[in-house]
Chain A
Amino acid sequence: MILQPAVLALLLIALLVAGMGIYAGYYGMRILGQWDPASGSEGQLELERRTYLVSTIMSYILSFELMSLFLFIYTADELHPLFTGAMCAAGTLAVNSFGYPALIIKVVNFLLAGVWLIVNYADNRGYDYPLIKVKYELLNLLVPLLVLEGVLLFAYFAGVKPDIITSCCGSLFSHESSGFSGDLAMLPHLPMQIAFFSGMAVTGASGLFFYIRGRAGYLFSISSTVTFLVAVASVLSFICLYFYELPTHHCPFCLLQKEYGYIGYFLYATLFGGVVAGIGTGVLMPFRKVGSLIRIIPAIQRRLVLVTLCCYLLFTLITGWKMVFSALTLG
């Protein structure tokens, strides 16, 4: 294991998130089994107080979880000079078989944690714990994944040794690569550009429609999620090419480096921020008619839609700007 401050911070966060997740999950199980708002029993009143504590703790812990995704890719990028063959985070993550699974689970947990924070925020605005069951069901889905993330991170960093020879991003994300990353890199430019801009346009239109009329929230949510997936594929397929000004370099991690102004952090932050807000809008849809949230949820959803629209607009503008002004022209 490499004892670097960021590695220790990540492991500490993973330990904290998993530990607090298990603690919250225990109360989540009790709440799902014993919650009875009609009862004034000592047990019910204790659960009511405890859920306030648990949700406060988890909102901080899961905020750390959100930030830790970016710390993880930053750390992977920072460590790459230690490994022969690595040119960026892509090589660092490939030093053992736990790197990419850890990244994937962190991305999944980022999305779920973001959605949980939105549901928790809405629940805390209602005076009668209106979303308590949904909130803890979601938390109980998240907790095993948080624990798995902690295990994968420990396994990954425990297996990171400076003398390992790894692959460079050029081979991992090239047309010759046989894996999923190679398939994404091989996606044709023009259809992907059409899909990307169409997805952004549909998300923008459905978002504006929802913002003005308060309808078609599911359409907006699905559209923002599909557009997120298309955008991620587009980064590998054509967007990163315009930043590198190289027609064959499809690495999504080199964008995080100083040579490219650390633009990757901004691009990924807008993309992930936008999709979390978009999914959150859809997740809140079934609860718009809940008594104590009848005025609150539509207001939250309007803010979420605005977040998604702003994030995606920024992503699209930066992409469009680079496509227009890049020295590279794709045929």
Chain B
Amino acid sequence: MIELSNLTKSFNSGQPNQFTAVDNVTLAINPQQITVLKGPSGSGKTSLLSMIGCMARPTSGRIFLRGVAAALPFRQDGADAVEITSLPERFLNEIRRSTFGFIFQQFNLVKGISVLENVMLPAYPTGEGRAEFRARAVSLLEQFSIARLASQRVELLSGGELQRVAIARALINNPSIIIADEPTAHLDSKLSHEFMEIVGRLKGEGKSVLIASHDPIVFDSPLIDTLVEMRDGAIVASRSCR
């Protein structure tokens, strides 16, 4: 479970142009479920996801990861929860690698290298043997029916193929939480539905999935468990869809 406690993210704090992107958000995100953050542009969805995914630090508030502590290499014996906002950067790196898989709006794949290398990239800093994570990457490409593209450069792929590569890359370190920021923004309806099917499969495999989206295909999907509505940095509604 991810617990957010009074989370606030302000830019230019104390300045006349201070902007509060996330305003005092308290939320519990259940494990092994699909949670969607819904809201218009500027509602704070991406800022919130960035903080949960250890890519940005809050101005105030705490984030607790419960139930994933066992996967962390620096965990304390017997500790169930890890508070991540206080962690020094070197520990955040480890959490980002071991706990989270990211799917970005623009996919952020590295041009000039192959599909397989793109998928393998996040595994290099873990210290794991290359042969092991290469086999896992090939297996993921097979799982998403894009194994035939393994040696292709990513700039030659279609939108749907790019998205599958991005999902495979997010899964290479076997994370327990998948974070997707507007994953269907550049996809047509058919590919968006395909994406949601993949997300449903990931949930079935025991992953927690957290999506920020204002696409009805995502937030009206029957697969999602919790819908959190945001506006102006605050949560205006949160409901279970089950």
Q: Are A124 and B5 neighbours in the complex by a CB distance under 8 Å?
A: no
Which of B5, B74, B86, B90 contacts A129 (CB under 8 A)? B86
> Smallest CB–CB gap between A13 and chain B, Å?
27
Q: Are A37 and B88 neighbours in the complex by a CB distance under 8 Å?
A: no
Which stretch from A44-52, A73-81, A101-109, A277-285 is at the chain B interface?
A44-52
Chain B, residue nearest A37 (CB) = B86
B6 cross-chain contacts in A, Cβ below 8 A: 40
Contact-residue bracket for chain B: 20 to 34
Q: Chain A interface (Cβ within 8 Å of chain B)?
A: 37, 40-42, 45, 48-49, 52, 124, 127-129, 291-292, 294
A41 cross-chain contacts in B, Cβ below 8 A: 60
Q: Are B60 and A45 neighbours in the complex by a CB distance under 8 Å?
A: yes
- With A40-B61, A40-B62, A41-B60 known as contacts, the answer to whether A294 contacts B91 (CB < 8 A) is no
Q: Chain B interface (Cβ within 8 Å of chain A)?
A: 5-6, 8, 13, 57-62, 74, 76-77, 79, 82-83, 85-91
- With A52-B89, A127-B87 known as contacts, the answer to whether A42 contacts B77 (CB < 8 A) is no
> Smallest CB–CB gap between B89 and chain A, Å?
7
> Smallest CB–CB gap between B173 and chain A, Å?
19
Q: Are A292 and B74 neighbours in the complex by a CB distance under 8 Å?
A: yes
Which of A37, A49, A294 contacts B57 (CB under 8 A)? A49
A127 cross-chain contacts in B, Cβ below 8 A: 74, 82, 87-88, 91
Q: How far is the CA of A52 from the CA of B87 in the complex (A)?
A: 10
A-B contact pairs, 22 of them (CB 8 A): A40-B5, A40-B6, A40-B61, A40-B62, A40-B85, A42-B8, A45-B58, A45-B85, A45-B86, A48-B85, A52-B88, A52-B89, A124-B88, A127-B74, A127-B87, A127-B91, A128-B76, A291-B76, A291-B77, A291-B79, A294-B76, A294-B77
A294 cross-chain contacts in B, Cβ below 8 A: 76-77
> Smallest CB–CB gap between B3 and chain A, Å?
11
